[in-house]
Amino acid sequence: MKFSSKEDIEASIEATFSMLCDFETFERAAMRRGAEVQRTDTKTVPSVGMGWSAAFNMRGKRRQVEIEMVTLDQPNEMAFECRSQGL
């Protein structure tokens, strides 16, 4: 399954990509909404191999997902691989 989205905004590609690479903010936002999120790597800068383990409730069931960054081409592209049963 592949998801994609496109929307024009009035910001430079570098500034936008930098905001999207602020993974700590996304982690905190998920935790505020009840998800359990753990980093599975020790990288300090965005790079291929970054990973997360997350658990959250969706449609009445607890879901577990493993996420890994598999592509990083700054400031053009990031791709993630997600693994989960039943999702």
At 87 the pLDDT is 63
User: Of 31, 21, 23, 14, which is closest to residue 72 (Cα–Cα)?
Assistant: 21
At 8 the pLDDT is 84
**pLDDT tens for each residue of the chain, 87 residues long:** 778 888 888 899 999 999 999 999 999 999 999 999 999 999 999 999 999 999 999 989 999 999 999 999 999 999 999 999 876
Domain residue limits, the chain: 13-83
Structure tokens at 35: 């998800």
User: Of 49, 27, 29, 47, which is closest to residue 38 (Cα–Cα)?
Assistant: 27
DSSP string, 39-75: E-S--SS--TT-EEEEEEEETTEEEEEEEEEEEEETT
